[in-house]
Amino acid sequence: MNDYPHPILAREGWPFIAASLLASLAVLYFFGWVWSLPVWVFFAFCIQFFRDPARPIPQGEKSVLSPADGRIVAIEPARDPWLERDCLKVSVFMNVFNVHSNRSPVDGLIVQRWYHPGKFFNAVLDKASLENERNALHIRTRDGLDITCVQVAGLIARRILCYVDQGQTLARGQRYGFIRFGSRVDLYLPPDTRVKVGVGETVKASATVLAELP
């Protein structure tokens, strides 16, 4: 959850990157280039997957920033299953080629945190929001508005990492978690929030403004 600057390769990936590099070198040494090529491909995949570039952070008080890189797959009225309220749901789907660091969409206090073990359906499906493994943060802004930010594991993702907890404060764009290998993040916003993106649009964590709070 450290602020920038931070290593351009996420620390969550260092063991995978190191292991794949050593395996590539070992196979190359003992068996040659042909046999080592698939292992080098996996090493290259690890490098691109765990990249974690710095991003600009818009500072508008009412702005809701994207918590993840990816594609907007849902913008719809919904029922927040965590706070049991009517809301506006915005979902960002991350495929294996997106940056997987998760960043806070707003400045605020973490009122509550929930972790729910679950299944591993394809994260692009709506039922993933209710049935997959997920970690939810209830964030209250300085204006007293409530936002629920939910990390959802996907078909390949089997590990949700969250480094913050109840009682801590988050700054917009602050890195607070990571999901390994394909997933989604759901935002449950006040119903009268004004959305500034469309379904199918590609967004960048902390750099893209998803919506404006009332």
CA distance 140 to 176: 16
Write down the pLDDT at residue 96. Answer: 80
CA distance 113 to 153: 16
**147 within 8 A of 115, measured Cβ to Cβ:** no
pTM over 0.85, yes/no = no
- Residues pairing with 175 in the sheet: 103
**184 within 8 A of 157, measured Cβ to Cβ:** no
Which residues have CB under 8 Å from 31's CB, separation 6+?
none
Q: Which amino acids are annotated catalytic?
A: 183
Nearest to 114 by CA among 151, 88, 79: 151
pLDDT tens digits in sequence order for the chain, 214 residues long: 445 445 688 888 788 899 999 999 999 989 989 999 999 999 998 898 888 888 889 888 899 999 999 999 999 999 999 999 999 999 999 888 888 889 999 999 999 999 988 665 555 556 656 667 889 999 999 999 999 999 988 665 557 889 999 999 999 999 999 887 668 899 999 999 999 999 999 999 999 999 999 9
Write down the pLDDT at residue 1. Answer: 41
CA distance 141 to 147: 8
Write down the pLDDT at residue 103. Answer: 94
CA distance 113 to 120: 21
Angle at which helices 14-31 and 33-49 cross, to 10°: 170
